[in-house]
């Protein structure tokens, strides 16, 4: 799925899953995304990508 990359390889979470959670649950922080999707909770390598997705959807991201 070229248009829906896996963002979190440890938990096999795709970009669309993260975007759906952010929009559907009005998530504002990386921690909220981690709690809702478990993306970024194993090795943390995808946290920067999650941040960029949050920023793309919400604008300024709370740290």
Q: How far apart are CA 42 and CA 57, in angstroms?
A: 24
Whether the Cβ atoms of residue 8 and residue 46 lie closer than 8 Å to each other: yes
Whether the Cβ atoms of residue 63 and residue 31 lie closer than 8 Å to each other: no
Q: What's the token pair of residue 44?
A: 């943390």
Q: How far apart are CA 13 and CA 63, in angstroms?
A: 22
> Once rounded to an integer, what is the mean pLDDT over residues 41-55?
97
CATH number of this structure's domain 6-58, picked from the four choices 1.20.1600.10, 2.120.10.30, 1.10.3720.10, 1.10.10.1100? 1.10.10.1100
Mean pLDDT estimate for the chain: 93
Is the whole-model pTM more than 0.85?
yes
**In this predicted structure, what is the pLDDT of residue 15?**
98
Domain ranges of the chain: 6-58
Q: How far apart are CA 24 and CA 18, in angstroms?
A: 10
């Amino acid at each position: 799925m070229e248009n829906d990359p896996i963002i979190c390889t440890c938990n096999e979470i795709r970009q669309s899953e993260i975007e759906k959670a952010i929009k559907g649950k009005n998530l504002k922080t990386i921690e909220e995304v981690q709690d809702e999707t478990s993306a970024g909770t194993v090795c943390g390598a995808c946290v920067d990508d999650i941040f960029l997705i949050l920023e793309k959807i919400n604008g300024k991201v709370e740290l």
